[in-house]
């Protein structure tokens, strides 16, 4: 494609100089400084604390608050997220969030996704920033809400001055307060910046290449537990791409999503509110649909050839081949039936939830009515658990059956 030719995509010098110079400087200066000096506890602490503040300001602020509007926040929370998000040097909120919305709209499209993984690991990781590609052209028509936000527009207007001032001025003052200016500038400044960049960039690259796809295979996004640790929960990317307006990325209790914990924690003290959550039945429906799809694909991929092979061996065992084919068709019918039943139970659960909500809005529910709803929910959820067990057992049986 024409947009791949370097001659047509001039170097984006500010981004290229920032990304390459800081990476090279960190690779040289941190080991040299560590060789000649002991890195102080204060310097290490500044690295850890500022890296977390930068990372969480990108995930909770730039991403889940401003790009996707998954919750609302008090102005003090917004200011802190803007301050440390600016320190992360990943462009202004307006540019970042607008580009990210474009990414979701055109995910994996080599021509329109600003950091499409279809153009390779390097392009998705950093390449899209160091040259001016047509796919990364700024277009704020998808961000009218941000154009009206005074804090967002203030940061956008003075972004360069703020980024330089915070990274040099604030870090130097912190180092002075901790009694180790050079150590803090190096570890809490330079090394922290490079670390924050690379861990964030892995979401655009590795999280579209490495991991599981439990909810959808219509795009390249993956769930990756290891990446979630280093990106404050952003590693559950398959879930995020199908349910982008959920304030959570890791929805299970055991999944590591510190950004979710932060947003939810702040809601308990009134600093965040209107936290958006995708209904449980929608999540479960997507997960079961993927299991059913994979089971069908596996059955289509293996048995036909096996049956043909049996038929070709001799006419004497053709009856065995036909019996096996009939058994296969019966299995597929049963699998389809269980999937349909489970989908219907999910729909019934959703309708019951809507009816309960409507009753709650129209009048104060009596204790008897509330008890009746609880009984209905309990019965439906028990039925769904039993159906899910049967369906999971069939899905697990499918590969073994296909290879029999």
Same domain for 173 and 133? yes
Give yes or no for a contact between 93 and 146, defined as CB atoms under 8 angstroms apart.
yes
Tens-place pLDDT, residues 342-381: 667 666 666 666 666 666 655 555 666 667 767 766 776 6
pTM of the model as a whole: 0.80
Same domain for 267 and 397? no
What torsion do the CA atoms of 170, 173, 177, 178 make, to the nearest 10 degrees?
A: 70
Total of domains in the chain = 2
Tens-place pLDDT, residues 205-244: 999 999 999 999 999 999 999 999 999 999 999 999 999 9
**Cα 217–223–226 angle (5° rounding)?**
155
Distance CA 323, CA 331 (A): 12
Tens-place pLDDT, residues 29-67: 999 999 999 999 999 999 999 999 999 999 999 999 999
pLDDT at residue 201, as a whole number: 96
Coil, strand or helix at 158: coil
Percent of the chain with pLDDT over 90: 66
Distance CA 192, CA 199 (A): 11
Same domain for 295 and 266? no
Same domain for 232 and 300? no
Helix (H) or strand (E) holding 73: strand 72-73
Same domain for 258 and 338? no
From the CB of residue 176, how many other CB atoms can be counted at a distance below 10 Å? 11
Domain edge (last residue) among 273, 293, 312: 273
Distance in Å from the first CA to the final CA of the chain: 46
Same domain for 37 and 171? yes
Full DSSP string of 126-137: IIHHHB--GGG-
Same domain for 146 and 164? yes
Q: Domain range for residue 264?
A: 2-273
Same domain for 317 and 239? no
Full DSSP string of 58-105: IIIIIIIIIIT--SEE-HHHHHHHHHHHHHTTS--HHHHHHHHHHHHH
């Amino acid at each position: 494609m024409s947009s791949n030719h370097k001659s047509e995509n001039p170097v984006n010098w500010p981004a290229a100089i920032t990304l390459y110079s800081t990476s090279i400087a960190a690779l040289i200066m941190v080991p040299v400084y560590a060789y000649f000096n002991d890195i102080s506890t204060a310097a290490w602490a500044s690295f850890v604390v500022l890296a977390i503040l930068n990372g969480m300001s990108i995930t909770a602020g730039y991403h889940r608050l401003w790009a996707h509007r998954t919750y609302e926040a008090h102005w003090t929370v917004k200011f802190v997220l803007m301050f440390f998000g600016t320190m992360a040097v990943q462009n202004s909120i307006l540019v970042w969030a607008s580009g990210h919305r474009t990414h979701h709209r055109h995910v994996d499209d080599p021509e329109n996704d600003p950091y499409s993984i279809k153009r390779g690991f390097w392009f998705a990781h950093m390449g899209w920033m160091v040259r001016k590609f047509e796919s990364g052209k700024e277009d704020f028509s998808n961000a009218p809400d941000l154009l009206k936000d005074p804090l967002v527009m203030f940061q956008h207007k003075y972004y360069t001055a703020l980024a330089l001032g915070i990274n040099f001025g604030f870090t130097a003052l912190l180092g002075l307060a901790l009694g180790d200016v050079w150590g803090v500038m190096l570890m809490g400044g330079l090394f922290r910046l490079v670390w924050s960049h690379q861990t964030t960039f892995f979401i655009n690259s590795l999280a579209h290449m490495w991991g599981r796809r439990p909810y959808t295979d219509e795009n390249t996004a993956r769930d990756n537990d290891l990446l979630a640790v280093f990106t404050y929960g952003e590693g559950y990317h398959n879930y995020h791409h199908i349910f982008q307006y959920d304030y959570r990325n890791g929805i299970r209790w055991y999944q590591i999503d510190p950004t979710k914990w932060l947003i939810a924690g702040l809601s308990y003290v009134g600093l965040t509110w209107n936290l958006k959550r995708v209904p449980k039945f929608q999540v479960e429906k997507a997960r079961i649909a993927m299991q059913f799809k994979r089971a069908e694909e596996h059955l289509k991929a293996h048995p036909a050839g096996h049956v043909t092979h049996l038929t070709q061996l001799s006419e004497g065992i053709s009856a065995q081949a036909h019996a096996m084919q009939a058994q296969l068709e019966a299995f597929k019918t049963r699998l389809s039936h269980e999937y349909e039943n489970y989908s219907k139970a999910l729909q019934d659960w959703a309708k019951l939830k809507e009816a309960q909500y409507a009753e709650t809005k129209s009048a104060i529910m009596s204790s008897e009515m509330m008890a009746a709803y609880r009984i209905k929910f309990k019965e439906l959820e028990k039925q769904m658990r039993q159906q899910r067990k049967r369906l999971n057992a069939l899905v697990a049986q499918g590969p073994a059956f296909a290879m029999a």
